[in-house]
Structure 1
Protein backbone atom coordinates (compact mmCIF):
# COMPACT_ATOMS: atom_id res chain seq x y z
CA UNK A 1 0.00 0.00 0.00
CA UNK A 2 2.77 2.42 0.93
CA UNK A 3 4.69 1.94 -2.32
CA UNK A 4 1.53 2.21 -4.40
CA UNK A 5 0.64 5.42 -2.56
CA UNK A 6 4.12 6.87 -3.07
CA UNK A 7 3.94 6.01 -6.76
CA UNK A 8 0.59 7.81 -6.91
CA UNK A 9 2.13 10.84 -5.16
CA UNK A 10 4.74 11.02 -7.93
CA UNK A 11 2.02 10.88 -10.58
CA UNK A 12 0.10 13.64 -8.79
CA UNK A 13 3.03 16.04 -8.41
CA UNK A 14 4.06 15.49 -12.04
CA UNK A 15 0.56 16.26 -13.33
CA UNK A 16 -0.49 19.00 -10.87
CA UNK A 17 0.92 22.04 -9.14
CA UNK A 18 0.66 20.80 -5.55
CA UNK A 19 1.13 23.77 -3.26
CA UNK A 20 0.84 22.14 0.16
CA UNK A 21 0.22 18.92 2.06
CA UNK A 22 -3.49 19.64 2.41
CA UNK A 23 -3.87 19.81 -1.37
CA UNK A 24 -1.89 16.59 -1.78
CA UNK A 25 -4.06 14.93 0.86
CA UNK A 26 -7.22 15.90 -1.05
CA UNK A 27 -5.83 14.68 -4.39
CA UNK A 28 -4.83 11.36 -2.82
CA UNK A 29 -8.28 10.99 -1.27
CA UNK A 30 -9.88 11.51 -4.70
CA UNK A 31 -7.74 8.64 -6.01
CA UNK A 32 -8.69 6.24 -3.22
CA UNK A 33 -5.90 6.90 -0.74
CA UNK A 34 -7.45 8.43 2.40
CA UNK A 35 -4.37 9.34 4.45
CA UNK A 36 -3.52 11.60 7.36
CA UNK A 37 -1.30 14.65 7.19
CA UNK A 38 1.32 12.76 9.24
CA UNK A 39 1.45 10.00 6.61
CA UNK A 40 1.87 12.56 3.84
CA UNK A 41 4.65 14.26 5.79
CA UNK A 42 6.49 10.92 6.20
CA UNK A 43 6.04 10.09 2.50
CA UNK A 44 7.42 13.49 1.48
CA UNK A 45 10.48 12.96 3.70
CA UNK A 46 11.06 9.35 2.55
CA UNK A 47 10.69 10.31 -1.11
CA UNK A 48 13.01 13.32 -0.72
CA UNK A 49 10.43 15.62 -2.32
CA UNK A 50 11.32 19.30 -2.41
CA UNK A 51 9.41 22.56 -2.76
CA UNK A 52 10.53 24.32 -5.89
CA UNK A 53 9.56 27.68 -7.37
CA UNK A 54 8.05 27.75 -10.85
CA UNK A 55 8.61 30.58 -13.37
CA UNK A 56 6.06 32.73 -11.48
CA UNK A 57 7.74 32.21 -8.11
CA UNK A 58 4.98 29.88 -6.84
CA UNK A 59 6.38 27.08 -4.68
CA UNK A 60 5.10 23.55 -5.27
CA UNK A 61 6.19 19.99 -4.53
CA UNK A 62 8.63 18.45 -6.98
CA UNK A 63 10.78 15.39 -7.21
CA UNK A 64 14.53 15.70 -6.91
CA UNK A 65 16.33 14.73 -10.09
CA UNK A 66 18.04 11.70 -8.56
CA UNK A 67 14.97 10.14 -6.86
CA UNK A 68 14.21 6.53 -7.79
CA UNK A 69 10.90 5.17 -6.51
CA UNK A 70 11.67 2.63 -3.80
CA UNK A 71 9.52 -0.12 -5.25
CA UNK A 72 11.26 0.20 -8.63
CA UNK A 73 14.66 0.03 -6.95
CA UNK A 74 13.72 -3.10 -5.04
CA UNK A 75 11.76 -4.96 -7.70
CA UNK A 76 14.43 -4.52 -10.35
CA UNK A 77 17.57 -5.05 -8.25
CA UNK A 78 16.93 -7.44 -5.34
CA UNK A 79 17.53 -11.08 -6.20
CA UNK A 80 16.93 -12.74 -2.81
CA UNK A 81 16.71 -12.16 0.94
CA UNK A 82 18.03 -14.70 3.46
CA UNK A 83 18.36 -14.68 7.23
CA UNK A 84 21.31 -15.93 9.28
CA UNK A 85 20.51 -15.52 12.97
CA UNK A 86 19.94 -11.82 13.55
CA UNK A 87 21.56 -10.82 10.24
CA UNK A 88 19.64 -10.25 7.03
CA UNK A 89 21.52 -10.97 3.81
CA UNK A 90 20.17 -9.25 0.70
CA UNK A 91 21.49 -10.42 -2.67
CA UNK A 92 21.26 -7.81 -5.44
CA UNK A 93 21.99 -7.54 -9.14
CA UNK A 94 25.73 -7.06 -9.66
CA UNK A 95 26.72 -3.45 -9.05
CA UNK A 96 23.46 -2.32 -7.43
CA UNK A 97 23.97 -3.18 -3.75
CA UNK A 98 25.37 0.27 -2.91
CA UNK A 99 22.30 2.05 -4.32
CA UNK A 100 19.87 -0.28 -2.56
CA UNK A 101 21.89 0.08 0.65
CA UNK A 102 21.78 3.87 0.46
CA UNK A 103 18.00 3.74 0.17
CA UNK A 104 17.76 1.36 3.14
CA UNK A 105 19.94 3.73 5.19
CA UNK A 106 17.56 6.61 4.44
CA UNK A 107 14.55 4.78 5.90
CA UNK A 108 13.91 5.57 9.56
CA UNK A 109 13.31 2.15 11.10
CA UNK A 110 14.37 1.16 14.61
CA UNK A 111 15.00 -2.45 13.49
CA UNK A 112 17.62 -1.37 10.92
CA UNK A 113 20.69 -0.40 12.92
CA UNK A 114 23.01 -0.11 9.95
CA UNK A 115 23.88 -1.65 6.60
CA UNK A 116 27.03 -2.81 4.83
CA UNK A 117 27.09 -3.16 1.05
CA UNK A 118 29.45 -4.91 -1.28
CA UNK A 119 29.02 -5.11 -5.03
CA UNK A 120 26.03 -7.47 -4.99
CA UNK A 121 25.34 -8.19 -1.31
CA UNK A 122 23.98 -6.20 1.64
CA UNK A 123 24.33 -7.23 5.30
Structure 2
Protein backbone atom coordinates (compact mmCIF):
# COMPACT_ATOMS: atom_id res chain seq x y z
CA UNK A 1 0.00 0.00 0.00
CA UNK A 2 1.22 3.48 -0.81
CA UNK A 3 0.63 6.78 0.90
CA UNK A 4 -1.84 8.78 -1.18
CA UNK A 5 -2.43 12.52 -0.90
CA UNK A 6 -5.74 13.97 0.17
CA UNK A 7 -6.45 15.04 -3.42
CA UNK A 8 -5.69 11.50 -4.59
CA UNK A 9 -8.09 10.00 -2.03
CA UNK A 10 -10.77 12.50 -3.03
CA UNK A 11 -10.38 11.64 -6.71
CA UNK A 12 -10.59 7.92 -5.94
CA UNK A 13 -13.65 8.42 -3.72
CA UNK A 14 -15.40 10.48 -6.40
CA UNK A 15 -14.74 7.76 -8.95
CA UNK A 16 -15.92 4.98 -6.61
CA UNK A 17 -19.12 6.83 -5.72
CA UNK A 18 -19.91 7.39 -9.40
CA UNK A 19 -19.25 3.76 -10.32
CA UNK A 20 -21.11 1.92 -7.57
CA UNK A 21 -23.41 2.31 -4.56
CA UNK A 22 -21.86 2.03 -1.10
CA UNK A 23 -23.95 1.82 2.04
CA UNK A 24 -21.18 2.10 4.63
CA UNK A 25 -17.79 3.65 5.22
CA UNK A 26 -16.43 0.13 5.75
CA UNK A 27 -17.44 -0.77 2.18
CA UNK A 28 -15.78 2.39 0.86
CA UNK A 29 -12.62 1.73 2.89
CA UNK A 30 -12.43 -1.80 1.43
CA UNK A 31 -12.90 -0.44 -2.11
CA UNK A 32 -10.14 2.12 -1.53
CA UNK A 33 -7.88 -0.60 -0.12
CA UNK A 34 -8.50 -2.70 -3.24
CA UNK A 35 -7.06 0.26 -5.17
CA UNK A 36 -4.04 0.38 -2.89
CA UNK A 37 -5.24 3.31 -0.79
CA UNK A 38 -5.34 3.00 2.99
CA UNK A 39 -7.56 5.41 4.91
CA UNK A 40 -8.64 5.32 8.54
CA UNK A 41 -12.32 5.67 9.41
CA UNK A 42 -11.61 9.16 10.73
CA UNK A 43 -9.86 10.21 7.51
CA UNK A 44 -12.58 8.66 5.36
CA UNK A 45 -15.28 10.44 7.34
CA UNK A 46 -13.52 13.80 6.88
CA UNK A 47 -12.99 13.12 3.17
CA UNK A 48 -16.67 12.27 2.64
CA UNK A 49 -17.70 15.46 4.43
CA UNK A 50 -15.27 17.56 2.36
CA UNK A 51 -16.62 16.03 -0.86
CA UNK A 52 -20.22 16.63 0.12
CA UNK A 53 -21.06 12.95 0.16
CA UNK A 54 -24.13 12.12 2.18
CA UNK A 55 -26.21 9.04 2.79
CA UNK A 56 -29.56 9.12 1.02
CA UNK A 57 -32.27 6.56 0.47
CA UNK A 58 -31.84 4.63 -2.76
CA UNK A 59 -34.70 3.38 -4.93
CA UNK A 60 -34.81 0.15 -2.91
CA UNK A 61 -35.03 2.06 0.39
CA UNK A 62 -31.47 1.37 1.52
CA UNK A 63 -29.13 4.18 2.56
CA UNK A 64 -26.25 4.80 0.15
CA UNK A 65 -23.56 7.45 -0.18
CA UNK A 66 -24.09 9.99 -2.96
CA UNK A 67 -22.18 13.10 -4.01
CA UNK A 68 -24.10 16.37 -3.93
CA UNK A 69 -23.22 19.55 -5.75
CA UNK A 70 -22.09 22.42 -3.50
CA UNK A 71 -25.12 24.63 -4.26
CA UNK A 72 -27.47 21.75 -3.53
CA UNK A 73 -25.68 21.01 -0.26
CA UNK A 74 -25.84 24.65 0.83
CA UNK A 75 -29.55 24.95 -0.01
CA UNK A 76 -30.32 21.65 1.73
CA UNK A 77 -28.40 22.81 4.81
CA UNK A 78 -30.24 26.14 4.79
CA UNK A 79 -33.61 24.39 4.58
CA UNK A 80 -32.71 22.18 7.53
CA UNK A 81 -31.57 25.21 9.53
CA UNK A 82 -34.78 27.08 8.65
CA UNK A 83 -36.80 24.23 10.14
CA UNK A 84 -34.57 24.05 13.22
CA UNK A 85 -33.72 27.70 13.94
CA UNK A 86 -36.02 30.17 12.21
CA UNK A 87 -38.57 31.57 14.66
CA UNK A 88 -40.11 34.46 12.71
CA UNK A 89 -39.92 36.02 9.25
CA UNK A 90 -41.00 39.65 8.81
CA UNK A 91 -40.71 41.68 5.63
CA UNK A 92 -40.52 45.46 5.22
CA UNK A 93 -40.14 46.70 1.66
CA UNK A 94 -36.94 45.09 0.32
CA UNK A 95 -35.77 43.90 3.75
CA UNK A 96 -36.49 40.72 5.67
CA UNK A 97 -35.93 40.40 9.41
CA UNK A 98 -35.35 36.83 10.58
CA UNK A 99 -35.41 35.87 14.27
CA UNK A 100 -33.51 32.88 15.63
CA UNK A 101 -32.80 31.59 19.13
CA UNK A 102 -30.11 33.61 20.97
CA UNK A 103 -26.64 32.94 19.59
CA UNK A 104 -27.82 31.35 16.33
CA UNK A 105 -28.17 34.36 14.02
CA UNK A 106 -24.58 34.53 12.77
CA UNK A 107 -24.54 30.79 12.10
CA UNK A 108 -27.86 31.04 10.24
CA UNK A 109 -26.74 34.16 8.34
CA UNK A 110 -23.59 32.38 7.14
CA UNK A 111 -25.70 29.46 5.87
CA UNK A 112 -27.98 31.92 4.09
CA UNK A 113 -24.97 33.59 2.43
CA UNK A 114 -23.53 30.23 1.35
CA UNK A 115 -26.83 29.16 -0.22
CA UNK A 116 -26.58 32.06 -2.69
CA UNK A 117 -30.32 32.58 -3.03
CA UNK A 118 -31.51 34.76 -5.90
CA UNK A 119 -32.27 38.37 -5.07
CA UNK A 120 -30.13 38.63 -1.92
CA UNK A 121 -27.82 41.65 -1.84
CA UNK A 122 -26.42 40.81 1.60
CA UNK A 123 -27.07 39.88 5.20
CA UNK A 124 -26.21 41.33 8.60
CA UNK A 125 -26.42 39.09 11.66
CA UNK A 126 -26.53 39.93 15.33
CA UNK A 127 -27.16 37.59 18.25
CA UNK A 128 -30.71 36.51 17.46
CA UNK A 129 -31.61 38.54 14.37
CA UNK A 130 -30.58 38.38 10.72
CA UNK A 131 -31.34 41.31 8.41
CA UNK A 132 -31.56 40.27 4.76
CA UNK A 133 -31.41 42.99 2.11
CA UNK A 134 -33.01 42.03 -1.20
CA UNK A 135 -32.56 43.80 -4.54
CA UNK A 136 -36.19 44.96 -4.57
CA UNK A 137 -39.61 44.40 -2.97
CA UNK A 138 -40.72 41.56 -5.28
CA UNK A 139 -37.45 39.72 -4.60
CA UNK A 140 -37.93 40.20 -0.85
CA UNK A 141 -41.49 38.84 -1.08
CA UNK A 142 -40.35 35.79 -3.06
CA UNK A 143 -37.44 35.19 -0.69
CA UNK A 144 -39.67 35.46 2.38
CA UNK A 145 -42.05 32.91 0.85
CA UNK A 146 -39.16 30.59 0.03
CA UNK A 147 -37.79 30.80 3.58
CA UNK A 148 -41.28 30.21 5.01
CA UNK A 149 -41.66 27.09 2.85
CA UNK A 150 -38.24 25.82 3.98
CA UNK A 151 -39.21 26.46 7.60
CA UNK A 152 -42.40 24.42 7.24
CA UNK A 153 -41.05 21.57 5.11
CA UNK A 154 -37.35 21.48 6.01
CA UNK A 155 -36.67 20.99 2.29
CA UNK A 156 -34.86 23.23 -0.19
CA UNK A 157 -37.17 22.39 -3.10
CA UNK A 158 -40.65 21.02 -3.48
CA UNK A 159 -39.28 17.93 -5.29
CA UNK A 160 -37.23 16.72 -2.29
TM-score of the two chains, using structure 2 as the length reference: 0.40
Q: Describe the SS at the equivalent of 1:41.
A: helix
Whole-angstrom distance in 2 between the partners of 1:29 and 1:37:
12
Q: In the alignment, what sits opposite 1:14? A: 18
Tell me, in whole angstroms, the C-alpha distance in 1 between the residues paired with 2:19 and 2:57: 16
Q: TM-score, normalised by structure 1?
A: 0.52
* Structure 1 unmatched ranges of 5 or more: 68-101, 103-123
CA distance in 2, matches of 1:63, 1:35: 19
Check the 8 A contact 2:52/2:69 in 1, yes or no: no
Report the CA distance between 1:65 and its aligned residue: 2.8
Q: By how many angstroms is 1:43 displaced?
A: 0.3
User: What CA distance in whole angstroms lies between the structure 2 residues aligned with 1:37 and 1:66?
Assistant: 23
CA RMSD of aligned residues (A): 1.5
Match of residue 25, structure 1, among 16, 24, 29: 29
Asked which structure has the greater CA Rg, the reply is: 2
Report the structure, 1 or 2, having the larger helix content. 2
Q: How many residues align?
A: 68
Offset of 1:33 from its aligned partner?
0.5
